[in-house]
Amino acid sequence: MNKPLLQVENLGVCFHTDNGTVNAVNGVSFQLEAGETLGIVGESGSGKSVTNLAIMGLIPSPPGEITSGEVRFRGEDLLTMDSQHIREIRGNKIAMIFQDPMTALNPFLTVEEQLTEVTQLHLGHSRREARAHAIDMLEKVGIPAASRRIDEYPHQFSGGMRQRVMIAMALSCKPDILIADEPTTALDVTIQAQILELMSELQHQEGTAIIFITHDLGVVANTCHRVMVMYAGKPVEKATTREIFASPHHPYSLGLLNSALRWDESHGGMLRAIPGQPPDLTQLGDGCAFAPRCEYCVDACETAVPPLISVDKNQTREHACIQDLPSIRQTEVDV
């Protein structure tokens, strides 16, 4: 087997704030193959965005600090790379789309100015080439009258259109990896569907690998091949999309599934929120971070952090829970 496109090893990020050190990411490892879509799921504050900002080298420092780990892109560690070199990768090989298209585009510059500067920088386009390419990209993401609208400012576009502009900008240099940080959260439901469709369409055309950050399991079900569930800065379960929907192995994954609307909900019960609050990341205890909120918690959960263990032989499926959740649930149903 080839080396994976992107390999994250034991990544740790913390932020030094007035209220103590926030351990936002504590030992995250995963890998991404060319052309696949990985979903990273978790509540706000679970460290999913920070993980990806760290990959891009965009953690503001101070207050942020990368405490451990490696991020290997085609074998090269991005974390130790010099800034000149990493700038050549950013926006070129790895591009990013952000959550809120209303604020992610610069309101003072025209769409053209914002689109062309990427290709001028990375592909060495002249102004004319860059403009033509930008118009191409805008047409590709479905913006009507692109050659006219390219001279407008972001505030003249609707939310969905702006996210299309963002996607055009991110894909301008045909990146190997696209990191999409909740790209549809701030959009209307109908627009969400269009954007998701656009993204998977473009992925088919260009063969881009996508890391999809979201808390919306519906989006995951539609778009992702594999899923990593994060809690308190750690992955608690990794599985294929199909597997995780069929039988979650970590109580937190189960909690997320139960608290989301599902069309195939058979027992017609109520949606169940996960009780309690996410843990205070400035003071993580000895045990499993989810233990205080977990209905399957036993004494052992509070004394040691459960390691990520693999369930099946080829190690595509891992979870960090000392209990065997599927069999417990099986007995519950039996009783």
Region of residue 70 (left: phi > 0; alpha: psi -120 to 50; beta: else): beta
Candidate segments 33-41, 57-65, 134-142, 309-317, binder of other proteins by CB under 8 A: 57-65
50 binds other proteins (CB under 8 A): yes
Q: Phi and psi for 65 in degrees, rounded to 5?
A: -150, 135
Q: Which of 1, 60, 128, 263 binds other proteins (CB under 8 A)?
A: 60
Report the site for other proteins in 198-237 (rule: CB under 8 A): 215
E-assigned strands of the chain?
Answer: 6-17, 20-32, 37-41, 64-73, 76-77, 94-97, 177-181, 209-214, 226-231, 234-240, 309-310, 318-319
Q: Which stretch binds other proteins (CB under 8 A): 43-51, 134-142, 218-226, 294-302?
A: 43-51
Instruction: In whole angstroms, give the CA distance from residue 318 to residue 327.
Output: 16
Cα–Cα distance, 66 to 70 (Å, whole number): 10
> Length of the chain in residues, anyone?
335
Number of residues that bind other proteins (CB under 8 A): 56
- Token pair listed for 269: 């019960």
Beta carbons within 8 Å of 289's beta carbon, 6+ residues apart: 231, 232, 234, 279, 305
The torsion angles phi and psi of 229, rounded to 5 degrees, stand at -95, 130
Tokens of 253: 């994954």
Subset of 78-97 contacting other proteins (CB under 8 A): 87-92, 95-96
175 binds other proteins (CB under 8 A): no
Does the footprint of other proteins cover residue 246 (CB under 8 A)?
Answer: no
Among the residue ranges 47-55, 65-73, 246-254, 311-319, the one whose residues contact other proteins (CB under 8 A): 47-55
Q: Does position 161 bind other proteins by CB under 8 A?
A: no
Q: Binder to other proteins among 147, 158, 277, 316 (CB under 8 A)?
A: 277
Q: Among 32, 41, 118, 180, which residue interacts with other proteins (rule: CB under 8 A)?
A: 118
Q: Smallest gap, in angstroms, from Cβ of residue 312 to other proteins?
A: 31
Return residues touching other proteins (CB under 8 A): 15, 18, 22, 24, 43-50, 56, 58, 60, 62-64, 87-92, 95-96, 98, 100, 103-109, 117-118, 121-122, 153, 155, 166, 169, 215, 259, 269-278, 281
